Chains A and B, each alone.
Chain A
Amino acid sequence: MENDNIIYDPEQPVTEPEQTGKTEVEEAVLSEEKKSFWKRLQDNKKLFGILHRLFFILIGILIPFIIFLFAIYTVPALQEIPTGGKTRLVNSEELKQSASYKKQIILMKKDIDRLNIKYNNYTTGQSYVVINTTDNFFYLYKNKKLIRSGHCSTGSYMMLKTEEGRSWVFKTPKGKRSIQGKTTHPYWHRSDWSYIEEGSPVPPKDDPSRYEYGVLGDYSMSIGDGYMIHGTIYKRFLGMPVTHGCVRLNDEDLDAVFHTLNIGSKVYIF
Chain B
Amino acid sequence: MGTENENNPNFRKTLVITLTSIIGAVLVYFSVMCILAPVRKLQEINEKYTFQPDAKNKIDERIYSDSAYLKLLKEKSFLQSRIAMAESDSIYVTVNIPDSTIDLEICGVVVHSTKIQKMSISNIIKSGNEYIISSMLSKPFSIDNSFSTIPKEPLMIKMAPKDTSEYIPDVVPDTAYHEPVNYVLEMSNGTRIFVYQAEFPHPGDKMHLFKFDMKYRLQDAFNALKRILVFKVPDYHPFIKIRIPMADAKIIYRALPVHGQISVYR
Contact = CB atoms under 8 A, between A and B. Distances in A.
Nearest to B161: A199
Nearest to B108: A122
A161 B162 CA distance: 11
Contact of A86 (B27, B127, B173): B127
Interface residues of chain B: helix, strand, loop or mixed (majority): helix
Interface stretch (A37-45, A96-104, A180-188): A96-104
B127 A159 contact: no
Nearest to B236: A79
A91 B127 contact: no
The dominant DSSP class at the A interface is mixed
B66 A90 contact: yes
A138 to B, nearest CB: 11
Interface in B195-213: none
Given A98-B60, A197-B160, A199-B162, A108 B72 contact: yes
B112 A237 contact: no
A72 B163 CA distance: 57
Contacts of A73: 217
Interface in A224-261: 237, 240-242
B66 A160 contact: no
Interface residues of B, number: 83
A123 B108 contact: yes
B247 A108 contact: no
A123 B156 CA distance: 36
B14 interface: no
Interface stretch (B2-10, B35-43, B140-148, B183-191): B35-43
Contacts of A90: 62, 65-67
A268 B112 CA distance: 11
B52 interface: no
A176 B154 contact: no
Interface string B59-83: 1101111111110110110011011
Interface string A35-74: 0000000000000000000000000000100010011111
9 contacts: A67-B27, A75-B30, A92-B62, A95-B66, A111-B76, A176-B107, A242-B170, A268-B106, A268-B107
